[in-house]
Amino acid sequence: MEYENELKELVKQKYAQIALQDKETNQSSCCGSGCCSTEVYNIMSDDYTSLEGYNPDADLGLGCGLPTQFANIKKGDTVIDLGSGAGNDCFIARAETGEDGRVIGIDFTPAMIEMAKINAQKLGFANVEFRQGDIEKMPVTSNLADVIVSNCVLNLVPDKDAVFKEIFRVLKQGGHFSISDVVLVGELPEGLRKDAEMYAGCVFGAIQKEAYLELIKANGFSNVTIQKEKAINIPNDILKNYLDEKELNSFKTGNTGIFSITVYAEKAKSCGCSTDCCN
C-alpha cells in the first residue's frame, strides 16, 4: 500500500508539472514525463483537431488514442471521463451529448482540475463539470453514466482491478466504455520496468495486453472489443536513459512491443429476474 501511495504521489507531482507546460514541451517528451528527447515524440500521434468540440487550450498532447471518437455517445447521454486533464475529451464528448447531456471529468491532480474548470468557463458549458478524485474510488454515485471514456490514464494506476470495478459500479445497466491505454506484449527490460520516471511516462505502469483484456472480462463486462491498436515506438535517445547498448539492441530487435489500444466493453442490461440466469 505504501508503494502504491508513493506511485500516486509521483503521478500527481508529474502531472501538476505538466499542467504548467505548453503542449509542444509535453509532446517532445515521453507523455510529458520530462525524459527529454531530441526527436519530437508524441505518444498519441492521433489528430484531435478535426473532431467537433476540440479545444486547443485543453489539448496537452498526453493521450494515446481517440476514445471519444469510438465511444458511440448519443444526445442526452451522461458521460464520465477518467483522468480528464485539461478537459479535451470532455469537451469533445459534450459536442456529442449536446446541451441535454452531462459530462463529468475526474482527475487526481488539482492543477489539472483548475485548468479544466477555467477552460469550461471560457466555453460557457454549464453541463460540463470537473471533480478531483481517485478513479479507484470515484466521487460519483452508482449507475450514473451511459458512457465512460479515458485516454492513457489507467496504465498510471497501480490497482487497475479496482478501477474496472468502479467503472462497472458507475455505469448504468446497458452502458459501455471506450478506453485508450498503453499495454505490453512481452516483458520490458528491467531498466524500463523499474524506473519510476518511466512510470509517470506511461510505460512502466502498463501491463500485458492479454492480462488487460482478461481483467475487463473478469469484472463482468461483455462484448469486449479492441476498436483500434497501434505500436508505440520510443526514440533511442529516450531509451538510452534506461538501457545500455546491448539491452537497447535486444529490445529493438526482440518480440517485446508497446502498444496503444482502444477497448470497448459493455455492462449488460438486467434481465429482470431474481436469479443469476434467465432462460
pLDDT, one tens digit per residue, over 58-99 is 887 777 889 999 999 999 999 999 999 999 999 999 999 999
For the chain, the structural domain boundaries read 2-266
The pLDDT of 197-222, averaged and rounded, is: 82
pLDDT for res 6: 57
pTM over 0.85: no
pLDDT for res 228: 95
Radius of gyration (Cα) for the chain, nearest Å? 18
pLDDT, one tens digit per residue, over 2-11 is 556 655 666 6
Domain 2-266 annotated CATH 3.10.129.10: no
Does the pLDDT at position 34 exceed 50? Answer: no
